[in-house]
Amino acid sequence: MQSMHSNLLSSEEVQAKGHFQVVPYGALRLLEAPVPWFHNDDVTNVCQGKPSIQLLLVTTVSSFSHHLFAPCTHSFTIDVLSMAMAVANIAAQRIKREIREIMKDDEVERCGVKVQVNEQNWLDLKGEINGPPDTPYAGGHFNLEILIPETYPFSPPKIKFLTKIWHPNISSVTGAVCVDILKDQWAAAMTLRTVLLSLQSLMAAPEPDDPQDAIVATQFKDYHDDFLVTAQHWTGIYAGGPNINEEFETMVKTIERMGIDEKIARARLSQANWDYNRAVSLCFN
């Protein structure tokens, strides 16, 4: 049986050859395992006639056992633009397939989750989630911005709510979302379908101990009844829900006549648990 060490290069050969390994775009880093070797001429021929740049790759090469070779430095030409385009194309093809699956998925349709595609840019999408039943968001339709990174599916999509919502895990100001699967719990096997259904589930079961909006989270935990009526009112105002509290809107308009923007007035009243005097103080202090 041939020893695996017989395939290793000598230190002189390491110095005489350069090598590279294709890694996800933006993730070029020091490698510590033997990888295929390419002569400078081989790489230059591949990139000939294409936009390219000179990169200097410093690589530490180690053997499978106790053999340790000295670091080697090798300058070669690599077509970064073509690599970036290839990776972006992988992301676009993957998301196209996922969207086709979403459109055929009975569960997604039943839950009221939709995706709107942009034929000019498949990485720039819009989504819509219906508010879950038996929640303050019921009857509302919440629009989303969905940006697919070029490194997808190795990086999660970037999603924010375009429709204003009163929820502990969604910013009432920016629409930014705090959910594990869009951060450190993301895995390449996950899909856009998984994300959208998870967001809808999050709407039904907030996690106030891991908030995106601390003010809403505090209200959720300490003044839950106020949270429920506020979330329901925001759903009626911003998401087309069936319930709008006219008494709340009267206070909004009164503060608006003081020169305060309508949305700011509503946010301050919501923050103050609809205490008019406290809300006015928040507006002017």
Question: Tens of pLDDT along 26-60?
Answer: 443 333 333 333 333 433 333 344 433 333 333 33
Instruction: Return the amino acid letter for 141.
Output: H
Residue-level pLDDT at 80: 56
**92 shares its domain with 73:** no
CA 201 to chain centre: 17
**89 shares its domain with 175:** yes
CA 153 to chain centre: 11
**73 shares its domain with 89:** no
SS3 state of residue 151: coil
Domain annotation covers residue 174: yes
Averaged pLDDT for residues 56-80: 40
Question: Tens of pLDDT along 139-165?
Answer: 999 999 999 999 999 999 999 999 999
**100 shares its domain with 166:** yes
Q: Which of 172, 204, 236 is the last residue of a domain?
A: 204
Active site residue 111: no
Q: Which long-range contacts (CB under 8 A, 24 or more apart) does 124-131 make?
A: 124/148, 125/95, 125/99, 126/162, 127/159, 127/196, 129/196, 129/199, 129/200, 129/203, 130/200, 131/203, 131/235, 131/239, 131/241
Cα-based distances in Å from 159 to 47, 103, 144: 36, 19, 7
Q: Which residue has the higher pLDDT, 129 or 103?
A: 129
**53 shares its domain with 23:** yes
Domain annotation covers residue 229: yes
Q: Which of 147, 171, 204 is the last residue of a domain?
A: 204
> What angle do helix axes 224-238 and 214-222 make, rounded to 10 degrees?
130
DSSP code, position 140: -
**69 shares its domain with 100:** no
Instruction: Return the amino acid letter for 218.
Output: T
* Residues 62-93 as b or e (16 or more Cβ within 10 Å = b): eeeeeeebeebebebbbbbeeeeeebbebbbe
Distance CA 79, CA 252 (A): 58
Kind plus residue range of the DSSP H or E element containing 255: helix 246-256
Distance CA 21, CA 31 (A): 8
Q: Which of 61, 78, 95 is the last residue of a domain?
A: 78
pLDDT of residue 100 exceeding 80: yes
Domain annotation covers residue 209: no
Region of poorest pLDDT, from 84-88, 132-136, 250-254: 84-88
Q: By residue range, what is the domain housing residue 41?
A: 4-78
Distance CA 223, CA 216 (A): 10
Number of separate domains in the chain: 3
- Residues 47, 72, 178, 283: which is the catalytic one? 178
Confidence of residue 239 (pLDDT cuts 50, 70, 90): very high
